[in-house]
Amino acid sequence: MITDLKEIENSALSLNKKDKARLADKLLQSIHGKIDPEIEQAWIDEVQKRKESLKSGEASLHSASDVINEARKRLQK
C-alpha cells in the first residue's frame, strides 16, 4: 500500500481527467461530508440554465480583467 504522500500525489497526478475528478470529489466529501442531493441538483439546473442562455445569445462571457476594470470605473464615479 502507498503511504508516502509524495507517492500518492504522483500517482494521483498521473490519472486521466475523469479519474482525477472522481478522486477530488471523494477527497472533498471526506473533508466536507456528503453533498445534499437537492443542493447538487439545484446547481446542475443552474449550470444548464446558464449554458442555454449563453447558447441562445441571451448572455455573454466577459474576461475577469474587463469586469474588474468596469467595476473600478463605476466605483470612481
Percent of the chain scored above 90 by pLDDT? 87
Residue with cell 498521473: 14
pTM above 0.75, yes or no: no
Give pLDDT, residue 2.
63
Residue ranges with strand state E in the chain: none
Contact present, 23 and 12 (Cβ < 8 Å): yes
Give pLDDT, residue 77.
80
CA 76, chain centre distance (Å)? 32
| Residues of the domain holding 53 | 5-76
Among 40, 19, 20, 23, residue whose Cα is nearest residue 31:
23
What domain count does the chain have?
Answer: 1
